[in-house]
Structures are given as C-alpha cells and as structure tokens.
Amino acid sequence: MTPAPETLFQFLSAIHPYDAMEHAALQSMIPAFDVRRFDAGAQVYALGQQLDGLFIVFEGDVEIRDEHDVPISLLGPRNSFGERGLLRQGQSVTSARAVTDSTLLILPADIFHKAMAEVPAFRKFFDRSRVERPQKTDLATTRVEELMATSPVTCPLDTDVQTAARQMREARVSSICVAEGGRLRGIATIRDLSGKVVGDGLPFDTPIRRVMTPDPVTLPPSAIGSDVLHMMMERRIGHVPVEQAGKLVGIVTQTDLTRFQAVSSAELVSEIAHSNTAEDMAKVTARIPQLLAQLVAGGNRHEVITRLITDIADTATRRLLALAEASLGPAPVPYLWLACGSQGRQEQTGVSDQDNCLFLDDSVTDADQPYFEALARFVCDGLDTCGYVYCPGDMMASNPRWRQPVKVWRDYFASWIKTPNPEAQMLASVMFDLRPIGGTVALFENLQAETLAKASANSIFVAHMVSNSLKHTPPLGLLRGFATIRSGEHKNHIDLKHNGVVPVVDLGRIYALQGQLTQANTAARLEAAMAAGILSASGGQDLRDAYDLIAETRLDHQAAQVRAGDAPDNFLSPTSLSDFERSHLRDAFVVIKSMQSAVGHGRGMLS
C-alpha cells in the first residue's frame, strides 16, 4: 500500500536534512518521490549501475556492499543511500540488496541535484567534501612563502665586513646571507658586526666568513609561520633563511612576524627552550590541554593543531638532550634521537605517550655505551615527568634494544622484511613512522631510503603489512549503528583513536610503502600517494575527507572534555552527537572500511 502524502510528509519531517526545509518546500517535493517495494533478497541496484535517484528506507532493511562484494552497511528506516553515486556521474559505487521485504522512497536525480544547488542544509548533509573551518589569518595558517622576503641581501664568502655592512645599510636590513653559487653558506647579522667586529676591534677588511654563522638552520617555503616562530624561540635567533632544493630563496625575520599575532604554542615552546629542569618543563606541558581547546575554538584544522602540539614535544626532547649533554659531557660519537608513533607523524593530541629510539654512529664502542644509556634514561625520564608517559610496550631509547649502532638498525629492518612474523610487522609499522628530532640526521637518511626500497620490493612483506594494517577496523555495527565498546569503563563508547584514526594511519603507511614515500605524516602520505598515482583521486579524496572528519571529531571531543575540567581521552559516546553528526561520522567509517577492503583485495598493490 502506497503511503499517503501526509504520511510521507510526517516521515520526512523527522529526517535530516528534510527537517531543515521550509514546510512549503518539502510539501512541494513530496509528489516527486517514487515509492518502490522490494522483496527480501531482491537487488535494489548493482555496482556501476546508472542511478535514477536518491534512496530512502521507509520500511525494511537494505544491505550495502562494496565493489568487492563485502558487506559494509545494513540500513533501516530513515537511512539514505546512493548519494555518492549521484554525485559521481550518477553511477553507483556500491551495490544494494533488500534483506527483508522493504519499501523505499526514491527522490529523482534531477530533484536531488536541484535541492543540492538550492537548499543549503541539503548540500551540507550530502556533500562529503572537506569542509573548511573558519580560519584566522595567523602564523598557524600562513605558509613561510607568504611571509618571507624573496630577495634576501647576499654577498660572497670573501666580502669584507665593511662592504657587507654598507650593503645592509643601503637595503635597510638587519642581516646578510653569505652565498656561493646560489647556495647558502652562512648568515651575518647586525649583532655579529657590532659584537665581533666592533666589540673585538677587528679590521674592516676582515672577510665576512670569519664573523658569519656558518650553515645556519633553514626552513622550506612550505613550512608554516609557527615553524619560524618556534625555531626563533628555541634557538634564540632572529633570522631564518628559506631554502628550496638546496637554493636560497628567501629569509624571514622577527620584523616579518610582528604584524601577526603569535599563537600561544610559541609561548610554550619558548618557555620549554629556556627551562633548566624537567620539572620546569612539566609546568609548561601541563598547559597543553588548554592550548588544544583554544586552538580548536579558533577554528584551526586538525593537522595544524596536532603539528603545533607536536612541536612542543619536539622542543622538550631537544631541550632534555641539551641538558643531558650539559650534565654528562659531549657525546663520545655522533648520535640521532628519533621519534616514532604520533610524535613521529606530527599527530599528537592532548593524550600522548612516548615512542622513541636512538641511532648511534657505527664507531661506538662498548666503553661508550654507558654514556648513551645515561643520556637515554635522562631524556625518557624527563619526558615522563613532562606528561609523555613511558611507552607501555617499552619502545623507548632507554631500552637497549632500541639504542643501537646504525649497522644494527640496518640488520633489524632487513630481518623484519625478510621474515615478516607478527612481531616484525608490528615493529616495522612503528619504525616506518620514524622522524629525526635531535642529533646527526645523516645517520638516518640513507637507511630510510634503503629500507623503503627493500620493503616495497618484497611482495611477501608487503602482503603481511597489508594484513597487519587491516586489524584495526572502523566501529560499524551490523544493525545500522556503531559497534560500541561492550563492557568496562568505556562501555557504549567508540574509540576514535584505535577504530577511527589508526585505520587511516595504517592505510597511509601502506601507500607510503608502495610508493617509497618518505613522508611520515598521515595527511601528507595521502596527498603524496594521490600525486604519485598510488591512490586514485576519487578514493584518495574520500579517504582524506573521512580522515578529516574523524580527526576533527576527536579533537572537538577532547576540547569539550578540557572545557568541562576533565582529562582528554579518545572515547566518544555516539549519543552525544546529533543525528546529523552521527550520520556523517558513520559515512566516514564506511569510506574507511571500503578503502580497507580495496587494499585487502590487492587493488593498486605492487606486485
């Protein structure tokens, strides 16, 4: 029996986005709906079929399957489906089958597209593309290429200090870059000239190379303004040259930053960089949750927020390394401290433990080991004091296993790739997210490229890594809702980290492995994978949109907890969300499950 128009109006009035429409507009839409009945087991539409409209379940149950015929959703009354196909040339990207006798409402494609164009609530609900948050013009959202002076004053190495000073005076700048063949060799500032030339009474024909700071730290044009400010605060410098592909392309000074309001993260970085004990640093890191809440309230995107928070951990680590060396003396051989996990990916939130390791130069001897044991213990204990609690799996430099010469690390990776048992898969997953924090970066560069090449060429290892990446699944329940935690402290909640963010992190790592991509950050991996053709533009955009929504929901949840005076965590009650938010979050989980299915079936994998 076909529902009466009044019945359809009442039904749709209780469903978003129809409940946001003017009553007259919804009344005029009612006659356009086609009512169709499907017996249990009947196919509603096939994969790749041209769709003639948007489907809404009025009665019954409908199962949605992906392109590999894997069930991804079971929908009941009030649920919509088919919109992704309508938004992509009208061809279905899934298949649908009635599980029970079902009655479906079909809104014709032309009416659907008309509503998308004319009804904001309709467009907001069905358009899954990335929603840009309102942003302020500040250092957290401004790229260095927009801040830098593109024609820095330069001079050769043999220029005398008087000539260099005249160049600076004529250009009305406070520094001069010393370059050779377009490559930066050093930088000299007004302070260098006054302190080293005038203060030490050097003759005016002294070559600039004698007073310059050689091989200064630099940033790429793609860095953000906060990177500049944090570097200035930590290193107590006022000028940061900008290099791209080894060439000097600009410079950013403190003057360039004065028109911007410094983000609060810079204050924390500065205070940590000037702290003399881990206890002093802990007073600063205790303010991270409040910083997170402020950044979320300011409309910053999740990748900006996690980057700024990770910068604080990086600074704390480097400061502890400096304090360790001040206490223990200079290191007997070169070393490199690296972070893995969320810090390695620059994805820390208000809840983070520590994951780190230590690479030692191959010249290290047994007699040197006590020094590095003491250094690692100093830093790991200090990080724990600062709130970055010890890794539950003991994956820290304080564990001798993760404090080894480069040749041992090379053997580690080689053995994991050759024999990908469960432990090897887990360890490789963690170690592929390594990022240098402090020390001699050269100890890692060759090993990273070498390991990626060997790993991607070993099809058995890749297959095991793919299998390992599918162990974290989205919290999708078979009966339309979410698969919440069944017992314990977090009963009836979903884990936004392990069942939301981590599945995308794992997929991003697989794409990086396929393409030998050196990026550690998940968003950067997805973008690089799309650029390299490893991930299709449509699938990659869907996955990026899903990741954005889940990551931002996680930060919104943590920020709300901080504002309520609670400690932030990753456990969200779906009942705290509106119907609109639950629908979009569930759709995001469906996208992730579909992408996991694609990877699991070998689509796009290297042979």
Do 158 and 220 fall within a single domain? Answer: yes
Q: Is 102 helix (H, G, I), strand (E, B) or coil?
A: strand
Q: Is 595 helix (H, G, I), strand (E, B) or coil?
A: helix
Domain boundary among 257, 276, 301: 257
Q: Mean pLDDT check: name the lowest of 80-89, 388-397, 408-417.
A: 80-89
Do 241 and 111 fall within a single domain? Answer: no
Do 273 and 234 fall within a single domain? Answer: no
Domain boundary among 257, 289, 323: 257
Higher-pLDDT residue of 366 and 447 is 366
Do 79 and 149 fall within a single domain? Answer: no
Q: Locate all alpha helices (DSSP H) within 39-108, ordered by sequence.
A: 83-86
CB atoms within 10 A of CB 317: 25
Do the beta carbons of residue 286 and residue 552 sit within 8 Å? no
- Arithmetic mean of pLDDT, 243-248: 88
The answer to whether the predicted template modeling score (pTM) of the entire model surpasses 0.75 is no
CATH number where 391 lies:
3.30.460.10
pLDDT for residue 225: 85
Q: Mean pLDDT check: name the lowest of 121-125, 391-395, 530-534.
A: 121-125
The dihedrals phi and psi of 372, each to the nearest 5 degrees, come to: -75, -30
Do 213 and 243 fall within a single domain? Answer: yes
The dihedrals phi and psi of 235, each to the nearest 5 degrees, come to: -100, -5
Q: In the chain, what is the greatest distance between 2 CA atoms, to the nearest angstrom?
A: 101
Tokens 């999740």 -> residue = 302
Do the beta carbons of residue 217 and residue 235 sit within 8 Å? yes
Tokens 């500065």 -> residue = 270
Do 118 and 149 fall within a single domain? Answer: no
Helix (H) or strand (E) holding 501: none
How confident is the model over 123-161, as pLDDT tens digits?
877 776 544 554 555 677 677 887 888 889 999 999 999
* Whole-number Å distance between alpha carbons of 533 and 511: 10
pLDDT at 39 over 50: yes
* Whole-number Å distance between alpha carbons of 516 and 448: 10
pLDDT at 584 over 80: yes
Q: Which domain holds residue 200?
A: 144-257
> Any residues with CB less than 8 A from the CB of 194 and at least 6 apart, and which?
none
Do 64 and 107 fall within a single domain? Answer: yes
CATH number where 180 lies:
3.10.580.10
Do 305 and 436 fall within a single domain? Answer: yes
CATH number where 80 lies:
2.60.120.10
How confident is the model over 56-112, as pLDDT tens digits?
999 998 988 877 777 777 788 888 888 877 877 778 878 899 999 999 999 999 999
Token duo for residue 473: 């699944």
Confidence of residue 33 (pLDDT cuts 50, 70, 90): very high
Token duo for residue 494: 């979903």
pLDDT for residue 406: 96
Q: Is 482 helix (H, G, I), strand (E, B) or coil?
A: strand
Domain count, the chain: 4
pLDDT for residue 556: 92
Do 343 and 314 fall within a single domain? Answer: yes
Mean pLDDT estimate for the chain: 88
pLDDT for residue 479: 55
Termini Cα distance of the chain: 54
**Is 452 part of any domain?**
no
pLDDT for residue 1: 66
pLDDT for residue 264: 65
Domain boundary among 238, 257, 276: 257
**Is 448 part of any domain?**
no
* Whole-number Å distance between alpha carbons of 162 and 43: 84
Confidence of residue 605 (pLDDT cuts 50, 70, 90): very low
Do 282 and 349 fall within a single domain? Answer: yes
List C-alpha distances in Å: 122 to 14, 17, 546: 14, 5, 19
**Is 283 part of any domain?**
yes
Q: Which of 386, 580, 595, 592 is nearest to 496 (CA)?
A: 592
Confidence of residue 360 (pLDDT cuts 50, 70, 90): very high
Do 293 and 408 fall within a single domain? Answer: yes
- Arithmetic mean of pLDDT, 380-401: 95
Tokens 């005016």 -> residue = 204
- Arithmetic mean of pLDDT, 405-426: 91
Q: What percent of the chain has pLDDT over 70?
A: 95
Rounded to 10 deg, the angle between the 502-515 and 442-457 helix axes is 90
pLDDT at 486 over 80: yes
Do 21 and 104 fall within a single domain? Answer: yes
